Amino acid sequence: MSVRRPLPRWADIVLLPAINLAMAFLISGMVVLMIGENPLEAVQVILYGAFGYGDGVGYTLYYATNFVFAGLAFAIAAHAGLFNIGGNGQAYVAGLGAILVGLALDQTHWLIVMPLAMLAAGAVGGFWALIPGYLQAKRGSHVVITTIMFNFIAAALMVYMVNRVLKPNNTMAPESETLDVMGRVPQLREFIPYFGYSPVNLTIVVAVAFLVLAYILIWHTKLGYQLRTLGQNPVASKYAGMSNSRLIMIAMTLSGACAGMIAINEVMGVQHRLVLDFVADAGFVGIAVALIGRNHPIGIGLAAILFGALYQGGQELQFVIPAVTREMIEVIQALIILFTGAMEGLFRPALERGFVLLSLEQKAEATARATVDSES
């Protein structure tokens, strides 16, 4: 063992994730090299695909919208010490709330439909997370297990609902009826032609608002303080007289409601109907987004854009370099999750040692100055 001290905050938030990302790209590059393609060209294609033209930017932002909600959902629960892996299922069932409001308010302006759909999606998503929360708080069933199980229950429920309840007759596809044009959340391209055909829509404004709200919730409200206390030291929160069980249920509900906003983006803004598996695993990507973003809204915002870019750039890559298959793209995405999430601490010891060396030098300078001062 050698000298170890906690990293300075900026290094923890910026430098370490950057190194992890660089490692992930390096290894991905080797994978690309192995199949006989030029990794630099691949990076170029990804960057161009994600940020190079309006459609690409639009898609990147559209994906990022989902990832912001999913990342925040994970982070809110994580601040309370809860590992909510059920964001995917919560977002999925939230689609029910969104579509039912959307279909019920046929021929209604979106300015009315959207807030109501948000409430409904948030309520359903929140409820879906509240059940594991209740089981954790009152019965001690670990949320990791129950939320995973609730993902499966959500999938089964939604297949049933879409196939047997919401599906209009005479269609082959398992999907609900399509929303009226009036009630759809407008896509940004309607105002900004730059975005081409991309599906990025006004939900992204909600996502940004949620980032701000989450920041306020976690660091500027009494509830946020209590959630953080619970997350950092549940014995201390009990000592303080906070009701741990109540806080667990609140945290899970907020988390699920946040995940539910994915349904607004997908159902109200993009697909305009409820399709099977519309979440497309965004809930799981959210875990990686929150891990990279250190559960901080700013970090989550940036990480969401990173993953949005990877999704969109990856799609571009598949078109431009056909040898890079869908599976290969998934490998690259998985590598990034691996390095930034699961093996997040890989470079921490080395970095910490490096910083100690640095600080030693700084200290030497400081002593030198102090000596000069005292002598003068």
Partner 1 sequence: MSINKTLRKGLAALAGGVAVTTLMAGTALADPAIIYDLGGKFDKSFNEAAYNGAEAWAAETGGNYLDFELQNDAQREQALRRFASQGANPIVMAGFSWTAALEAVAPEFPETNFVVIDTVVDQPNVQSILFDEHTGSFLVGALAAMKSETGTVAFVGGMDVPLIHKFYCGYAQGAKHVDEGATVIENYTGTTPAAWNDPVTAGELTQAAIDNDADVIFAAAGGSGIGVLQTAADAGVYSIGVDSNQNYLHPGSVLTSMVKRVDTAVQTAFNEAGDDATFQPGLLMLGLAEDGVGFAVDENNESEISAEQMAELEALEEQIIAGEIEVHDYTTDGSCPV
Partner 2 sequence: MSEQTTNTQRPDPAAAPSGDNGDWAIELEKINKSFGPVHANKDIDLKVKRGTIHGIVGENGAGKSTLMSILYGFYTADSGTIRVNGVPHAITDSRHALALGIGMVHQHFMLVDNMTVLENVVLGAEDSPLLNKTLAHARSQLVELGREYSLEVDPDALIENISVGQQQRVEILKALFRGADTLILDEPTGVLTPAEADHLFRVLETLRAEGKTVILITHKLREIMAITDEVSVMRGGEMVETLKTSETNPEELAELMVGRRVLLRVEKEPANPGDIVLEVENLSVTDRMGVQRVKSVSFSVRAGEIVGIAGVAGNGQTELLEAISGIADPTSGVVKIKGKPLDIRGDDGAARARRAGMAHVPEDRHRMGLVTTFEEWENSILGYETYPDYGKGMILDIAAAQKEAQRRIEMFDIRPDNIRLRTANFSGGNQQKIVLAREMDRELEVLVVGQPTRGVDIGAIEFIHKQIIKMRDAGKAVLLVSVELDEIRSLSDRILVMFDGHIVGEADPETANESELGMMMAGMNQKEAAQ
Give whichever of 32 and 252 is closer to partner 2, judged by the CB atom: 252
- Of the candidates 163, 186, 183, which has an alpha carbon nearest to the alpha carbon of residue 275? 163
Residues in touch with partner 2 (CB under 8 A) = 1-3, 5, 216, 220-226, 228-229, 232-233, 235-236, 238-246, 359-360, 362-363, 366-367
Give whichever of 329 and 338 is closer to partner 1, judged by the CB atom: 329
Q: Is the Cβ–Cβ distance between 105 and 321 less than 8 Å?
A: no
Beta bridge partners of 187: 201
Give whichever of 152 and 239 is closer to partner 2, judged by the CB atom: 239
**Residue 222 binds which of partner 1, partner 2, none (CB < 5-8 A, kind-dependent):** partner 2
Residues in touch with partner 1 (CB under 8 A) = 45, 48, 52-53, 55, 59, 62-63, 155-156, 158-160, 163-164, 167, 169-175, 178, 197-199, 266, 270-273, 275-278, 280, 311, 314-315, 318-322, 325-326, 329-330
Q: How far is CA 137 from the centre of its chain?
A: 25
Residue by residue, DSSP assigns 283-297 as HHHHHHHHHHTTT-H
**Residue 71 beta carbon to partner 1: minimum distance, rounded to whole angstroms:** 17
- Residue count (the chain): 376
HSE toward the beta carbon, residue 319, CA cutoff 13 A: 11
**Residue 309 beta carbon to partner 1: minimum distance, rounded to whole angstroms:** 14
Helix (H, G, I), strand (E, B) or coil at 258: helix
Distance, in Å, from the CA atom of 244 to the CA atom of 234, rounded to the nearest integer, reads 7
**Residue 159 binds which of partner 1, partner 2, none (CB < 5-8 A, kind-dependent):** partner 1
**Residue 197 beta carbon to partner 1: minimum distance, rounded to whole angstroms:** 6
Query: Measured on CA atoms in the order 323, 328, 330, 334, is the torsion positive or negative?
Result: negative
**Residue 83 binds which of partner 1, partner 2, none (CB < 5-8 A, kind-dependent):** none
